[in-house]
Amino acid sequence: MSKNWIEISLSNKHIKYYNYKDFFNFEVIGSGGFGKVYRANWKNPRNTLALKSLNDYTAKNIVYEVSTL
């Protein structure tokens, strides 16, 4: 697996990165086999968003699938 696939994906805008510090007021609104879903506010602009946090197993599978493309 290529170490810098994530950097390439970020630079090609296939993955959008947001700093965790830009969000506040987290509230769990759902959970399931893949992870949890949170409601949070985004500081700039102050929008309410849904954020999905993947569990380790799911994240590793996504990394594997993306690396084989």
Answer yes or no: is 9 within a domain. no
Asked whether residue 27 is domain-assigned, the answer is yes
**Of 11-25, 35-49, 55-69, which one has max mean pLDDT?**
35-49
DSSP class of 34? S
Q: Is residue 29 part of a domain?
A: yes
| pLDDT tens, residue by residue, 2-37 | 557 667 777 888 777 788 899 999 999 999 988 899
Tell me, yes or no, whether 30 lies in a domain. yes
Return d(Cα 15, Cα 45) in angstroms, integer: 20
pTM for the predicted model, two decimal places? 0.63
In the chain, how many domains are there? 1
Residue 9 confidence (pLDDT): 74
Supply the range of the domain harboring residue 60: 18-67
**Would you say residue 5 lies in a domain?**
no
Q: What is the pLDDT of residue 3?
A: 54
Within a domain: residue 35? yes
How far, in Å, CA of 32 to CA of 69, rounded? 27
CA proximity to 55, closest of 41, 68, 67, 37: 37
Task: State how far the Cα of 31 lies from the Cα of 10, in Å rounded to an integer.
Answer: 27
Q: Is residue 40 part of a domain?
A: yes
**52 annotated to a ligand binding site:** yes
Alpha carbons 12 and 27: distance in angstroms, whole number: 31
